[in-house]
């Protein structure tokens, strides 16, 4: 029996999320995958595997949490009892992921109805014609188009070329006047006019920003483009007061499209900016209460995702994060 494995050929592959904190888990997975075939890694080979994997994980995660690590392995021909393996990065990006959504998912990608929180805020600011709105990360225009139909002068920023094209075409087909800025909202060369808007919205967008510095830059831009007294409304995955996410949790939350901000982090990002907090509500709770019954749920993933259950596989209502509607007023 001790010799049988020399006559066994085996191969396999793994596609793994790019979470650097899972390094040891992934090393163990590969060792365990080849063990049934009598193949073992010598201690120095384990060290080499760990070094290669660490480097690839860091490279992949730095680029995007949607990248993956691909490991393929093969038993070496007899009489060797070793294996050969290749570790490579399958790079992805937010833009590439959304491009795939447009190819593989049935529209509407983000729901049929606009966010009721956004409709209520817009209505609170006056007659539609007097309320200029900027929708940052507008996607295919779920909010932009509905607000434009209701008579609000609309502008939109969208960073995914594939979604931007859909939004542009929909606006054109309906004859809606939407000023569209295609590109990254952090890009200073986008010619978004300063002091122009009464309302800036960022719906299901902030979780795409990976650092507090990026978030700060985004909110600085929002402060610039808002008119004095205007409102900023965004949704973000906020951690419960008593919950401090560790590194692994943060990385996996990103992998599951649920990047976490703690309240202390949000306070630090807002510090010194001309904003005062107005409201802080559960997105799930608010939208479930106000959306028409036929528009609920907005998408198949909305209920779990907004309540933090994509990142935390726990019973309903017990995840330590949830998507919140946060509204701030720009000081005059």
Q: How far apart are CA 27 and CA 106, in angstroms?
A: 37
CB of 257 to ligand SAM, least distance (A): 8
CA–CA distances in Å: residue 176 to residues 97, 158, 203: 28, 17, 21
Indicate which single residue of 67, 92, 184, 258 sits in contact with ligand SAM (rule: CB under 6 A): 184
67 vs 143, beta carbon nearer ligand SAM? 143
- Phi, psi (deg, nearest 5) at residue 13: -150, 160
Using the rule CB under 6 A, which residue among 27, 81, 186, 303 binds ligand SAM?
186
- Residues in 190-219 at the binding interface with ligand SAM, rule: CB under 6 A: 203-205, 208
Q: In angstroms, what is the minimal distance from the CB of 27 to ligand SAM?
A: 33
Does 132 contact ligand SAM by CB under 6 A?
Answer: no
| String marking each residue 85-124 x if it binds ligand SAM according to CB under 6 A | ---------x---x-----------x--------------
Q: Which is nearer to ligand SAM, 70 or 165 (CB)?
A: 165
Spell out where the chain has E strands.
Answer: 11-17, 68-75, 83-90, 133-136, 154-158, 178-182, 197-202, 226-239, 260-261, 275-282, 321-330
Determine the size of the site formed for ligand SAM (CB under 6 A): 20
- Of 152-181, binders to ligand SAM (CB under 6 A) are 157-160, 163
The Cα 169–Cα 162 span in angstroms is: 11
Distance of CA 41 to the CA centre of its chain: 37
Among 17, 65, 139, 308, binds ligand SAM (CB under 6 A): 139
Tell me which residue has tokens 């014609």.
129
Q: Going by DSSP bridges, is the β-strand pair 226-239/197-202 parallel, antiparallel, or unpaired?
A: parallel
Q: Note the residues at the interface with ligand SAM (CB under 6 A).
A: 94, 98, 110, 137-139, 142-143, 157-160, 163, 184-186, 203-205, 208
């Amino acid at each position: 029996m001790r010799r049988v494995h020399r006559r066994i050929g085996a191969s396999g592959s793994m596609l793994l999320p790019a979470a650097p904190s899972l390094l040891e888990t992934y090393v163990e997975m590969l060792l365990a995958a080849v063990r049934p075939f009598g193949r073992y890694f010598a201690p120095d080979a384990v060290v080499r595997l760990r070094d290669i994997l660490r480097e690839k994980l860091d490279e992949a995660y730095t680029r995007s949490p949607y990248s993956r690590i691909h490991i393929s392995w093969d038993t070496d021909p007899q009489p060797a009892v070793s294996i050969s393996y290749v570790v490579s990065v399958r790079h992805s990006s937010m833009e590439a992921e959304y491009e795939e959504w447009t190819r593989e998912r049935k529209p509407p990608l983000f729901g049929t109805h606009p966010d009721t929180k956004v409709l209520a805020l817009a209505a609170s600011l006056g007659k539609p014609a007097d309320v200029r709105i900027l929708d940052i990360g507008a996607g295919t225009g779920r909010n932009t188009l509905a607000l434009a139909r209701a008579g609000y002068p609309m502008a939109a920023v969208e960073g995914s070329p594939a979604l931007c094209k859909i939004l542009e075409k929909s606006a054109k087909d309906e004859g809606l006047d939407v000023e569209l800025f295609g590109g990254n909202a952090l890009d200073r060369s986008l010619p978004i006019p300063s002091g122009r808007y009464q309302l800036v919205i960022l719906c299901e967008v902030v979780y795409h920003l990976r650092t507090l510095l990026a978030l700060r830059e985004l909110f600085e831009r929002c402060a610039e483009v808002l008119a004095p007294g205007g409102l900023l409304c965004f949704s973000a995955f906020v951690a419960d007061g008593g919950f401090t996410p560790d590194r692994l949790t943060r990385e996996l939350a990103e992998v599951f499209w649920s990047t976490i901000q703690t309240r202390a982090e949000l306070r630090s990002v807002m510090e010194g900016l001309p904003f005062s907090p107005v409201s802080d509500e559960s997105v799930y709770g608010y939208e479930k209460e106000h959306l028409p019954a036929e528009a609920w749920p907005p998408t198949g993933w909305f209920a779990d995702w907004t309540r933090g259950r994509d990142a935390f596989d726990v019973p309903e209502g017990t995840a330590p994060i949830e998507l919140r509607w946060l509204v701030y007023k720009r000081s005059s």
